Structure 1
């Protein structure tokens, strides 16, 4: 039975892995820029009392596209659990979009029984 579980899960696993690889690639591409900023601000060579240098490094790094990338990552961390909860494990097919949920007829129970009394 475990093969059936893996067979049903493989699409979600592949999409999840692709997303993790894409996010890792984006953040890896910023590595050299962040290292340059750390070197320029003196934060990379700091050994003691680095509070001011760290603050300067963060302020410099949050300008430009790195700041936008930081905001996008923070928003993703907030929204991702909700999006996963909405769509994970849901079968997406045109037939499932049109089908009504099991046991749902579109009328309330009281309206259905009121006409028969």
Structure 2
């Protein structure tokens, strides 16, 4: 199986952002914190986002003024600090994906 290309990785991230949006639609912090399945589904999508960003051509990412290290670090945080994650933080991260999504759409428009 061939490794995904940068354009495929961008699409994977956009798909993950879309799924997170679907998963948390109609939810609030209180309901999110009580729903272990929802938490797990959302965290998995954040792992995809962070991992995919690590594999996008850095020359492309450097053209766009976005803190790319944040989603990468968030992935590492979820993986390595799974035992101490505050679900409220995960919930608030679900509400903060619009800028990332906009930058990725610009990358698709301009680079591929």
TM-score w.r.t. length of structure 2: 0.27
Kindly indicate whether structure 1 or structure 2 has the higher relative contact order, using CA contacts under 8 Å at least 6 residues apart.
2
Q: Which protein has the bigger helix share?
A: 2
TM-score w.r.t. length of structure 1: 0.26
Tell which structure's C-alpha radius of gyration is larger.
1
